A and B are shown apart, each in its own frame.
Chain A
């Protein structure tokens, strides 16, 4: 079974430029997560999709970050314009659909991440 794919693996941009990251989750996984991992810290959730709907985007800086998941499969995370503090690793994860009744455990599978450096 193929894992979560992300591209690019590395990206270097100047501040105020724009950048986009792509994620392809494991086939059949309904839930997709984007996490931001700043150096020296643990990952922090930016946005969570259930199929193509947004479940949680409370930590997403909406003035500069946007994300979409068209057709409930692939997802793109965009930053425009980038700031120095956006330098981080951006991790994508996916998990299967929750069971009926809403209480279950579904493991999150992570991609290799994209390391963004903003100069």
Chain B
């Protein structure tokens, strides 16, 4: 079974600054996907970024980038130039490299962006 651990319950960052959210996972799978999801107060779960485990290059989506360390089973999210709209819960999630596999989520971290 897979587990995803997010040990920081909450973080705060000043607008325009950079923040890094941590995530570790455990699996015996050799190939898989990792995700960061954003869940604002509206509860709509939104995909932020995806990383495929067989790709060594870290994924990047505009202001969002990841640091994927496969050997250490670590997957952190860096948010650059933080904006007020980034205030939300962020979940790290794991998925096997199988079609229509389920997502296994961590507990999440509450990120607050201060004006």
- Give the residue of B44, B93, B98, B105 whose beta carbon is less than 8 angstroms from that of A103: B98
Total interface residues on B, using CB and 8 Å? Answer: 24
Tell me the dominant secondary structure on chain B's binding face: loop
Of chain B, the residue at the smallest CB distance from A44 is B105
Q: B100 contacts A43, CB within 8 Å?
A: no
Interface status of B97 (Cβ within 8 A of chain A): yes
Of chain A, the residue at the smallest CB distance from B31 is A103
Total interface residues on A, using CB and 8 Å? Answer: 33
Q: B4 contacts A42, CB within 8 Å?
A: yes
When A42-B91, A112-B43 are in contact, do A106 and B108 touch as well, CB less than 8 Å? Answer: no
Q: What CA separation (Å) do A99 and B97 show in the bound complex?
A: 12
**Interface hits, B78-101 → A, CB 8 Å:** 91, 93, 95, 97-100
Interface status of B62 (Cβ within 8 A of chain A): no
**Which B residues are CB-close (under 8 A) to A33?**
102-103
Interface status of A80 (Cβ within 8 A of chain B): no
Interface status of A89 (Cβ within 8 A of chain B): yes
**Which B residues are CB-close (under 8 A) to A1?**
none
**Which A residues are CB-close (under 8 A) to B98?**
102-103
Q: A99 contacts B99, CB within 8 Å?
A: yes
User: Can you name 6 A-B pairs with beta carbons within 8 Å?
Assistant: A41-B107, A42-B106, A45-B102, A89-B43, A103-B97, A112-B44
Interface residues of B (CB under 8 A from A): 4, 33, 42-47, 50, 52, 91, 93, 95, 97-100, 102-108
